[in-house]
A and B are shown apart, each in its own frame.
Chain A
Amino acid sequence: MEILYAVIDVLLPFEWTEFNFMKNAFIAVLLITPLFGLVGTMIVNNRMSFFSDALGHSALTGIAIGVLMGVDNYMLSMLGFALLFAVAISAVIGSGVSSTDTIIGVFSSTGLALGVVLLSASGGFAKYSGYLIGDILTVQPEEIALLAVLLLAVLLVWGLFFNRFLVASVNADLAASKNIREGAVQKVFVILVAVLVTVSIKWVGVLIINSLLVLPAASARNVARGMRSYHAWSVCISMFSGVTGLILSYYLGTAAGGTIVLVAAVIFAVTFLLGFLSGRRRAS
């Protein structure tokens, strides 16, 4: 870490990098945001933004289970519950009984309500409200290592499964003809999202985690031509909003997570206009 700090000091000799907590937050943002950009592309493509939102809400129940079991680190209980939740959602969707958004809505509200009931049982829901907003500034060096491992793991899964994700998301019949089991591919993806959301929720927060997944990819879709540039744009926009939001939050004294999302939202508005104008030009 010392080496990294020194590198940051040399490359970015600004006021906001003066303190180690800002350096930690900066490194964490550099690790988390590409992940969100990358995974977000597929979420937007597959129209799963509501699904990742539900996973975020389920984290509250995961925390509550951790509290009830008396563990200090809620990561495991959150992860366990989120995986269960994700697999259950995709199984119920697979049964085809009800429409996807209804099923996700049912799970999302159940997860949230269960979390609220369990956490306020001891009278103090306010104690856990930190998880609603998240706090990137408290990220610790060992947690940064965890994020680095996560980034590597996601890149690996992405490399192995990307084509299958893509085919399954574009055309189910085509996938079947190529002997790709859509259900299995979807489960891998769902688990990936669950892990990502759970690991980062402590720093990003239940309320805004989904914005970070959806906004960069949605902006990228406005301007990208083709799959490769779509991914590149999404990752770049995600990292740019992360870093800009963090720096802005330092100088403005605002909450880091919310500022990052606002920057991403502004970028979406700009790309929307760009896409709209270029679409008109092509049409005329």
Chain B
Amino acid sequence: MRFRRAAALLLSLCLALPSGCAVTPRGEEPAFRVVTSFYPMYVMALNVTDGVPGVEVDNMAGQQTGCLHDYQLQTKDMKNLETADVFVVNGAGMESFLDKVVEQLPALTVVDTSVGITLLESGTGEEHVHEEGDDHDHGDLNPHIWVSISDCILQVENLCEGLAEADPANAALYEENTRAYVEKLEALRGEMHEAIDPLPNRNIVTFHEAFPYFAEEFDLHIVKVVNREPDSQPSARELAETIRLVEEAGVAAVFAEPQYPESAADIIAAESGAVVYTLDPVTTGPDDKNAYLDAMEQNMETLVQALS
């Protein structure tokens, strides 16, 4: 008898559960849903869609996730993408899970913002132009393109083109927004060149390979990248070599990132006498459309302070 009662209880539970879920009210669906893969894309999309009626921008990975290295797709992410009209990605191998998404949701429009941008190879710094339909493995290309303002501008333009194609009714608005944002970015780039170009010291050490594009743009020389993968720890030999390199090359400043722990940077700085500063690759930040501009301005001030 006990068994039967338990079985009945289980059965009624099973029946109650789905019906309970079904009554959740659904809010008003926005006319056009843009989902971005991670923070830099989110900030770009906020600017391009600013004030366009009926458009909702959602950031899949959340504001505090940082770079998508080794990001594991969660059920809620797939749900989110299922209801999206457009999925905006950085491309160049940043979204390692993209193949899985495309396989699962073949109807989803993906806007790859890295199209046409000259990519650097990880570690070596060799160049490689990314073209449309280019589907070989990009595991060895450096995906941190948005950290260079020039490349960021190209990405914003790619994004605008993609959105205009998917939502032609609002194309004019997207283009207008893009023009305004690109103008701001260009002004910032000019300002940064003015501030950074005359600095005497151009050798820097960074952690996590986020800055090669930035360094190329402002003609800085990255002596060494410690921890090419963000979450690995440098070995003792790598630390020792870096310390010697810093001493020999006369590097005055070691740049850590706010997203990662500074312990290795602290060790190198303490041993070599260099100073640790923070450079922000803008992979996390506030829910604000000016976040990229603000962070870059902050980076400019840091560099001026560190390298003069």
Which A positions have Cβ atoms within 8 angstroms of B? 16, 18-22, 25, 120, 122-127, 129-130, 133, 135, 137-138, 246, 249-256
Residues of chain A lying within 8 A (CB to CB) of residue B28: none
A129 touches B231 (CB 8 A): yes
- The minimal Cβ–Cβ distance linking B266 to chain A, given in whole angstroms, is 8
Residue with the greatest number of chain B CB neighbours at <10 A, chosen from A19, A22, A250: A19
A130 touches B231 (CB 8 A): yes
* Further contacts, 6 of them, CB under 8 A, given A124-B71, A138-B263, A251-B237: A123-B65, A126-B69, A126-B70, A135-B263, A249-B235, A256-B236
Number of A-B contacts (CB under 8 A): 75
A18 and B264 CA atoms in complex are apart in Å by: 17
B240 touches A18 (CB 8 A): yes
Q: Does B233 contact A (CB under 8 A)?
A: yes
Residues of chain A lying within 8 A (CB to CB) of residue B65: 122-124
Which B positions have Cβ atoms within 8 angstroms of A? 61-62, 64-66, 69-72, 74, 230-231, 233-240, 243, 261, 263-264, 267, 270-271
Residues of chain B lying within 8 A (CB to CB) of residue A133: 233
- The minimal Cβ–Cβ distance linking A9 to chain B, given in whole angstroms, is 14
A16 touches B236 (CB 8 A): yes
B233 touches A19 (CB 8 A): no
Residue with the greatest number of chain B CB neighbours at <10 A, chosen from A250, A252, A253: A253
The verdict on A135 contacting B233 (CB below 8 Å), with A122-B62, A124-B65, A124-B71 known, is yes
- The minimal Cβ–Cβ distance linking A281 to chain B, given in whole angstroms, is 42
Contact with A19, one of B61, B70, B72, B271 (Cβ below 8 angstroms): B271
Please name the 5 residue pairs, one residue from A and one from B, whose CB atoms are nearest each other, closest first. A253-B237, A138-B263, A250-B236, A123-B65, A135-B233
- Mostly helix, strand, loop or mixed at chain A's interface? helix
Nearest CB in chain A to that of B61: its residue: A123
Residue with the greatest number of chain B CB neighbours at <10 A, chosen from A19, A124, A125: A124
A20 and B267 CA atoms in complex are apart in Å by: 8
B233 touches A137 (CB 8 A): yes
- The minimal Cβ–Cβ distance linking A124 to chain B, given in whole angstroms, is 5
- The minimal Cβ–Cβ distance linking B235 to chain A, given in whole angstroms, is 5
- The minimal Cβ–Cβ distance linking A134 to chain B, given in whole angstroms, is 8
A251 and B237 CA atoms in complex are apart in Å by: 6
Nearest CB in chain A to that of B235: its residue: A253
A124 touches B66 (CB 8 A): yes
- The minimal Cβ–Cβ distance linking A236 to chain B, given in whole angstroms, is 23
Residues of chain B lying within 8 A (CB to CB) of residue A120: 72, 74
A249 and B239 CA atoms in complex are apart in Å by: 12
25 contacts between A and B (CB under 8 A): A20-B270, A20-B271, A21-B236, A22-B240, A122-B64, A123-B74, A124-B65, A126-B71, A126-B230, A127-B66, A129-B231, A130-B231, A130-B261, A137-B236, A249-B235, A249-B236, A249-B237, A250-B236, A250-B237, A252-B237, A253-B238, A254-B235, A255-B233, A256-B235, A256-B236
Residues of chain A lying within 8 A (CB to CB) of residue B62: 122-123
A137 and B66 CA atoms in complex are apart in Å by: 25
Residues of chain B lying within 8 A (CB to CB) of residue A135: 233, 263
A19 touches B231 (CB 8 A): no
A254 and B236 CA atoms in complex are apart in Å by: 8
Nearest CB in chain A to that of B38: its residue: A123
Nearest CB in chain B to that of A246: its residue: B236
Nearest CB in chain B to that of A127: its residue: B231
Residues of chain A lying within 8 A (CB to CB) of residue B231: 126-127, 129-130
A252 and B237 CA atoms in complex are apart in Å by: 7
A137 and B261 CA atoms in complex are apart in Å by: 14
Residues of chain A lying within 8 A (CB to CB) of residue B234: 137
